[in-house]
Amino acid sequence: MEKLTSLLFLLCCGLCFGQHTGPGPCHLEQDNKEWIEQFKKADSLDIKIDMVMNKLLADSDYFFYNPAPTNLDDRSSFGPIPCTHKCTIRFGIVYGKREGMVLDLTKNPELEDVLYELVPENIDYIDLNEYEENDIYQHVTDKRSGVVIHTENSEVRRMIRNVIKRKGKKKVKEDPDESEN
């Protein structure tokens, strides 16, 4: 009886003080899967555009209130793994034959003005590139789904180029001493 009691005591201690099993996956991954399924079911360009806009704004709001961790190797805290930008769907816009950019409002908040110009009259079509785990030919860095908006509208192209020019000027004004070093 004494051996059984000590065995149960050790088992309880092992369960109580045992090592943490590790956090689970980011909750954005499940949200993204559901969003992609809804996006595939959307039958009109209007609905797809609204879905893209809402997802872009929701993701940027999420990372505003829940910033991505700087050190992902730090396992000192318990709980779920904080979501990073790699958990999100990658959005991009192609606005010329060889011109395109990633639509990420956390890195480029000035693109929010351009988003409001993305209406059905200004968009030619939208592509969904869905990540599939069993695709052996997919590159390692492409382990997330993406949505690409294609437009040939001159007004949208001009707005994007102006945003890029303004962003380039801000970098030069913010870092004048770096060119001297």
Summarize pLDDT for 9-30 with one digit per residue, the tens: 655 555 555 544 444 457 778 8
- In angstroms, what CA-CA distances link 77 with 11, 19, 69, 74, 130? 25, 12, 12, 8, 32
The pLDDT of residue 177 is 42
Task: Determine contact, residues 52/121, Cβ cutoff 8 Å.
Answer: no
Q: Residue 39: its pLDDT value, please? A: 93
User: Is residue 62 very low, low, confident or very high in pLDDT (cuts 50, 70, 90)?
Assistant: confident
Among 38-42, 45-49, 73-77, 111-115, where is mean pLDDT lowest?
73-77
pTM for the structure as a whole: 0.68
**Quick check: 36 pLDDT over 70?**
yes
Average pLDDT of 31-39? 90
- Whether 37 shows a pLDDT value over 90: the answer reads yes
Q: Using CA atoms, how far apart are residues 54 and 33, in angstroms rounded to an integer?
A: 15
Q: CA-CA distances (angstroms) from residue 33 to 88, 142, 177?
A: 10, 16, 45
Average confidence score pLDDT of the chain: 75
User: Which residues are 101's β-sheet partners?
Assistant: 93
C-alpha 161/C-alpha 96 separation (Å) is 11
Q: What does each C-alpha distance from 28 to 24, 88, 98, 136 come to in angstroms?
A: 12, 7, 31, 24
**pLDDT tens track for 102-130:** 888 888 888 888 888 888 998 999 999 88
